[in-house]
């Protein structure tokens, strides 16, 4: 293997680790328990997840989201939710990265974030259906999911172009 190939692999692993940690920390430190629905949280972990997926692609987005938020669930007492979170948030990161890999415009970013919202709503509806065995109870979580992903989407859409410019200046290689 050439030195360039090794360097790229090391950089990729480092970026994945950093964004996984950011997703975890933003979820852990900036969250509000919802007083309605089935509980749940509003957190900012989706902000670094979406930025990661847009900048670094579907693979890194999926890993950072799945591991970062899955680990949060394990550590903060939401253990039952961890496997669902791993799959759902991993799918969200993958979708955002896949949609924006070749299309770097605000339209495609917004479309990818809307897709992530749909994945979150459907994914957690199915998870709650499995956990609670009730088709109506999961509907109570939809407003919180919309608030959570909607807030992150607005923040990402405001920040993404300046972040892209900054990454180019420090020569971060992204998709």
Q: What CATH class has 3-169?
A: mainly alpha
> How far apart are the C-alpha atoms of 164 and 148, rounded to whole Å?
23
Per-domain boundaries in the chain: 3-169
Global pTM reads 0.92
Q: What is the DSSP string of 148-167?
A: HHHHHHHHHHHHHHHHHHHH
Rounded to 5 degrees, φ, ψ at 77 are: 90, 10
- Tell me the pLDDT of the chain (175 aa) as tens digits: 566 788 889 999 999 999 999 999 999 998 888 776 666 678 999 999 999 999 999 999 999 999 999 999 999 999 999 999 999 999 999 999 999 999 999 999 999 999 999 999 999 999 999 999 999 989 999 999 999 999 999 999 999 999 999 988 876 665 5
């Amino acid at each position: 293997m050439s030195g360039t190939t090794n360097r790229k692999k090391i950089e990729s692993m480092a970026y994945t680790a950093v964004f996984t940690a950011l997703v975890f920390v933003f979820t852990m430190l900036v969250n509000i328990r919802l007083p309605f629905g089935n509980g749940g949280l509003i957190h900012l972990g989706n902000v670094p997840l979406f930025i990661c997926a847009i900048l670094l692609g579907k693979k890194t987005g999926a890993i950072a989201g799945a591991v970062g938020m899955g680990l949060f669930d394990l550590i903060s007492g939401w253990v039952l939710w961890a496997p669902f979170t791993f799959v759902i948030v991993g799918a969200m990161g993958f979708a955002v990265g896949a949609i924006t890999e070749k299309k770097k415009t605000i339209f495609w970013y917004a479309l990818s974030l809307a897709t992530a919202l749909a994945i979150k709503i459907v994914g957690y509806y199915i998870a709650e259906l499995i956990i609670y065995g009730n088709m109506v109870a999961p509907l109570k979580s939809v407003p919180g999911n919309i608030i959570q992903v909607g807030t992150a989407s607005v923040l990402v859409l405001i920040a993404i172009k300046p972040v892209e410019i900054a990454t180019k200046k420090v020569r971060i290689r992204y998709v």
